[in-house]
A and B are shown apart, each in its own frame.
Chain A
Amino acid sequence: SQQGEEDPQALSIQEGENATMNCSYKTSINNLQWYRQNSGRGLVHLILIRSNEREKHSGRLRVTLDTSKKSSSLLITASRAADTASYFCATSKETSGSRLTFGEGTQLTVNP
């Protein structure tokens, strides 16, 4: 069964707006990662947040993690048409090795 569930399943915004995607998971984790997938391509890692961290930033990306609520959010600020893609959260329960359990993804469309 999928560990992560993402919300919303699809999101359509205008260029320049912010996009927020949410991920919920069921069991305790060591870390949570966000990946991006352009249509017809493999996944590309965006950012990793560990269970003892609450927030991380990388460029226009901001990720939060609330382990008490078993949830995470990915915020993309000042979105661009090139941000159009599917975004997946993935959780790992392990402290070594890194088997990941993926959510079903959010399809983000940024309209120019």
Chain B
Amino acid sequence: NAGVTQTPKFRVLKTGQSMTLLCAQDMNHEYMYWYRQDPGMGLRLIHYSVGEGTTAKGEVPDGYNVSRLKKQNFLLGLESAAPSQTSVYFCASNELAGAIREQFFGPGTRLTVL
């Protein structure tokens, strides 16, 4: 199993450009998440999904949109990138279960907005 993968690994954008980050998981997990991590800080939740076709806002959703058209994929979109969105983006997933489960993380996408 590849686990959680993210595409691309690195990207440089100019202010105002748009892009989509792709997260894929092959563990048949119901829940998927997008986080951002800024220097010296922990992760902050941007958006999450509790199943195919559903999405919800996290702690810092402004400037981002998401879609979960297929269970295994969770897309994060930036419609008009801003320098404040320079960050490392992590995707995570976990399974639906009665008990709380750990999250599995992808390797991250390093985004720079000039």
Contacts and interface: CB of A to CB of B under 8 A. Distances in A.
A94 B50 CA distance: 13
B102 A99 contact: no
Nearest to B6: A42
Contact of A42 (B42, B58, B102, B108): B108
B43 A42 contact: no
A43 B106 CA distance: 8
B107 A92 contact: no
A42 B100 contact: no
Interface residues on B, range: 20 to 34
Contacts of A13: none
Nearest to B44: A102
B48 interface: yes
Size band of the A side of the interface?
20 to 34
Given A45-B102, A45-B103, A99 B108 contact: no
B42 A104 contact: yes
A56 B90 CA distance: 28
B57 to A, nearest CB: 11
B42 A96 contact: no
Contacts of A101: 45, 59
18 contacts: A33-B102, A41-B107, A42-B105, A43-B92, A43-B105, A44-B105, A88-B42, A90-B43, A94-B100, A95-B100, A97-B31, A97-B50, A98-B100, A98-B103, A99-B33, A100-B45, A102-B35, A102-B44
